[in-house]
Amino acid sequence: MGLIANPSSVDSRLHHAVDVLHELPGAQLVVLFGPEHGLRGFAQDQVELGDDVDPHTGLPAVSLYGSIRAPTSEMLSDLDAIVFDVQDIGSRYYTFIWTMANAMEACAERGIEMIVLDRPNPINGEAVEGNLIEDDCRSFVGLYPIPNRHGMTVGELAAFFNGEFGLGCDLTVVPMKGWTRSLWYDQTGLPWVMPSPNMPTLDTATVYPGMCLMEGANVSEGRGTTRPFEMVGAPWVEPYRLIAELENQDLRGVCFRALYFQPTFHKHAGAICGGIQLHVLDRLAYRPVRTGLAIVAALFRLWPGQFKWRQPPYEHETERLPIDILVGNDQVRPQIEAGRPFQEIAACWKDQTERFLDIRKPYLLYR
């Protein structure tokens, strides 16, 4: 069998899946696959890695992030199954679930079993927020129409992709024991292992479904600091002016603190940025996607001369604007530019969210 893994692929005693499966009686682990950030998880976002060799086991380590994002027929020729064991963070932009979907499609074409070892949705499995992706905005931050905050586990998503989009994969989902939909990661008793370099804490995962929208503009989302995605800013942002604008938007469960920060890499590296830090005070009331949208709209409204939409390429998309594939359609951006209140924009999601909640029901494994 092959294994798709990264540093988060550990058991409750922090034993890594490579070691556990390599020693498993009755099975032979012969190849390792790494999603974005690599098998060892050190690469920054959108950095393409080549193939390697795992120094501990000597097994080949194949990259599934770059020009090749799915196992090829040659890679699968000697396999009976691929195991997927990677911690997701509950947001549609996070590329690991799309690596899983691509692998499922490749396994279906070769008649190979796909085994998904399920893991918790760290930001709970009840809250769902956001619109569905339109067909012309599908990308590697959204191959299938699911909301930005989907409220599902990787095992549930695998079954959903297989059943709703006709992948035809011989799929086995190994369910968790003891997880219920209301649980956040810090309520599971499991240790947090960073699934990617800029996802250091559960706090990061909590804000990520909205704050990842900042990747679609020329503002820093806090990469290059110790609190990525919890901070946003730019050299031209005046913190208190931004806070005053946001405090009139009825954004619940969150407080905005004025700050200045200096990213060590990524956008505005070395420059002093004015901005805000998000402090989530009530995570059940907090709506990350609405909050992220409100921040983008406020930045555009307050600094129209300095705020710019990021240009492609972005996540292997060379034509569409990054903000459009992040949002999942090409309507939100013009609405922001026209000054439409973010509350009206978010209200357009209601029917899509409710439709998704209904469609996903047969695939939910936990109550």
CB 174 within 8 Å of CB 116:
yes
Report which DSSP code applies to 136. G
Same domain, 278 and 228: yes
In a domain, 208, yes or no: yes
Residue with the two structure tokens 């978010």:
346
Which structural domain, as residue segments, surrounds residue 319?
202-348
Residue 48: predicted pLDDT: 73
Considering the domain architecture, whether residues 97 and 29 belong to the same structural domain is answered as yes
Is position 197 within any domain? no
* H-assigned helices in the chain: 17-22, 73-76, 96-110, 154-164, 202-211, 239-246, 288-302, 322-327, 332-337, 342-347, 350-360
Mean pLDDT (the chain, rounded):
95
Question: How do residues 149-163 score in pLDDT, each as one tens digit?
Answer: 999 999 999 999 999
Q: Report which of 206, 193, 205 is spatially closest to residue 85, judged by C-alpha positions.
A: 193
Average pLDDT over residues 94-118: 97
Q: Which of 328, 294, 283 is nearest to 214 (CA)?
A: 294
**pLDDT at 213 exceeding the cut of 90:** yes
* Separation between Cα atoms, residue 337 and residue 38, nearest integer Å: 37
CATH number at residue 100: 3.40.50.12170
The answer to whether residue 211 sits within a structural domain is yes
Is the pLDDT score of 288 beyond 80?
A: yes
Question: Over the range 121-160, which residues count as b (16 or more CB within 10 Å of their CB) and which as e?
Answer: bbbbbebbbbbbbeeebbbbbbbbbbbbbbbbbbbbbbbb
What is the token pair recorded at 302? Answer: 């307050």
In which region does residue 281 sit, left (phi positive, over 0), alpha (psi from -120 to 50) or beta (all else)?
alpha
Q: Is the predicted pLDDT of residue 226 greater than 80, yes or no?
A: yes
* Distant-in-sequence, close-in-space partners of 135: CB < 8 Å, separation ≥ 6: none
What confidence score (pLDDT) does residue 265 get? 95
310 and 186 co-located in one domain: no
On whether both 36 and 183 belong to a single domain, the answer is: yes
Provide the edge-to-edge strand list for the sheet that holds 273-280.
231-234, 273-280, 254-261
289 neighbors 149 (Cβ within 8 angstroms): yes
- C-alpha–C-alpha distance, residues 128 and 72, integer Å: 34
146 and 107 within one domain: yes
Residue 125 and residue 219 share a domain: no
The answer on 214 and 98 residing in a single domain is no
179 with 307, same domain: the answer is: no
The CATH number covering residue 294 comes to 3.90.1150.140
Q: Which residue from 222, 165, 230 is spatially nearest to 204, judged by alpha carbons?
A: 230
Are 133 and 146 contacting, i.e. CB atoms less than 8 angstroms apart? yes
Residue 49: is its pLDDT beyond 80?
no
User: Does the structure show a pLDDT above 90 at 55?
Assistant: no
Do 153 and 222 reside in the same domain of the chain? no
Taking residues 239-244, report their average pLDDT. 98
pLDDT band at 47 (very low <50, low <70, confident <90, very high): low
> What is the C-alpha end-to-end distance of the chain, expressed in Å?
31
Q: How confident is the model at residue 356 (pLDDT cuts 50, 70, 90)?
A: very high
Indicate yes or no: pTM above 0.75. Answer: yes
Phi, psi angle pair for 278, to nearest 5°:
-85, 130
Is residue 124 scored above 80 in pLDDT?
A: yes
Q: Is residue 195 part of a domain?
A: no
Q: What is the pLDDT of residue 166?
A: 95
Q: Which of 71-75, 105-109, 177-181 comes out lowest in average pLDDT?
A: 71-75
Q: Do 153 and 240 belong to one domain?
A: no
Q: How many domains does the chain have?
A: 2
Q: Are residues 137 and 255 in the same domain?
A: no
Q: Given a cut of 80, is residue 50 above it in pLDDT? A: no
pLDDT at 357 over 70: yes
- Nearest residue to 210 (alpha-carbon basis) of 123, 98, 295, 284: 295
Structure tokens at 260: 């200045």
pLDDT band at 45 (very low <50, low <70, confident <90, very high): confident
- For 329-344, what is each residue's pLDDT tens digit? 999 999 999 999 989 9
Neighbours of 283 (CB within 10 A): 17
Per-residue model confidence (pLDDT) at position 285: 98
Q: Is pLDDT at 13 greater than 80 in this prediction?
A: yes
Res. 270: pLDDT tops 70: yes
Q: Do 173 and 207 fall within a single domain?
A: no
